Amino acid sequence: MTIGIPKEIMHDEARVAATPETVGKFVKDGFEVLVERHAGEGALYDDEEYIKAGATMIDDAQEIYDRAELILKVKEPLMNEAKGKHEVDMMHKGQYLITFIHPASPVNHEMVKKLTAKGVTAITLDGIPRISRAQNMDALTSMSTCAGYKGILMAANMMTTFVPQMFTAVGQIKPAKVMVIGVGVAGLQALATAKRLGAITYAADIRPMASENAGSLGAKVVDTTVPAELAIAEGGYANRLPADVLIQEQEALRETIQDMDIVFCSALIPGKIAPIIITEEMVKGMKKGAVIVDISIDQGGNCELTPKGGIEKKYGVTLMGVKNIPGLLPTSSTWMFSNNLYNLVSYLVKGGKVVLDRNDEIIQKSLVCIDGELVHAGAREAMGLA
């Protein structure tokens, strides 16, 4: 089987889907690996290293899409301006694609429909369930670790004040207050990083266990008032809340949010659009100079005003909707991501062929489209097809 590793084309995306180390593993397992020239440079992996590992370097991305049976990418298919065509149009019927697709996000709906119509079999990494046997394939957890760490550093960099408490010759400067909404992997890393920087930390999550985890890191837990029976979905994930309960949560968190210097948003519902927790009215009441980092932006965002893929200032608050925060930590994030992909491919490929058992929970949750049919439940629901 031939694996293709194209160079990522998203603006400022420095990650790559395979390192020389994982290419070497694939080659040892009997795969042919095609890597687009310079694909790894942003993450400090040189072409010579890939060649030594057994990869064939390809100059033209189209050749990779033409020859490869399985495409491994970091980000969803996008318009390739250099080629004058969309990456989906470079693919062919029967090809396999594994990447982050975020199929429920409205911005990706047309792309997902095109993938389906093209006859591509696509697997989205954000659908890999957090179960014990899938831990080493869980790229979302790996990238969440990176996003939690780097997101807090970015927010601190945007502030006009110190994060830690400072004692100076002219007086004391109080520490910054940081709130994390959604205390999963990214949220826990964000809390730990903010605490290392010297901030006073707060946390909110509708799941009691997540709140306990936040408390164990020294955060002040803010009660969302959401009943546990409504909060927890299958597998321990956060559940989608009824509209009236979501409004209740917004009101419960309003006062604390408006007292914060940094609010880190990472509340997600697997395979579905992210819940809006911070409304425009809440942003209006926040401190001048406050920063919101919304890493849920790939699934719509937790703040009503978060710009898609950028940074804006509204009502004196800096809103960060940067979509590729792990890409700003490219060497570490690529190493983690590429090993997750190697483990997933090893799980799926048997006897030189991709074998998809539709009864397997890992496949059920991550399969987007197959044989011209859109099967991803979250995407179908978001598109009104459920």
pLDDT digits (tens, 9 = 90+) for 275-291: 999 999 999 999 999 99
Predicted pLDDT at 299: 85
User: Quick one: angle between helices 139-158 and 185-196, nearest 10?
Assistant: 40
Torsion from C-alpha of 191, 43, 296, 288, nearest 10 degrees: 60
Q: Return the closest-CA partner of residue 295 out of 184, 170, 178, 217.
A: 184
At residue 269, the pLDDT reads: 87
* Residue spans of beta strands (DSSP E) within 66-134: 70-72, 79-80, 85-86, 96-99, 121-124
Report whether 17 contacts 337 (CB < 8 A).
yes
Alpha carbon distance 265, 140 (integer Å): 16
- Ranges under pLDDT 70 in the chain: 271
As a whole number of angstroms, the distance between CA 37 and CA 305 comes to 39
Q: Show the 3-state SS of 261-312.
A: CEEEECCCCCCCCCCCCECHHHHHCCCCCCEEEEHHHHHCCCECCCCCCCEE
Distance of alpha carbon 55 from alpha carbon 4, whole angstroms: 10
Residue 271: per-residue pLDDT: 66
Nearest alpha-carbon partner for 41 in 338, 337, 343, 334:
334
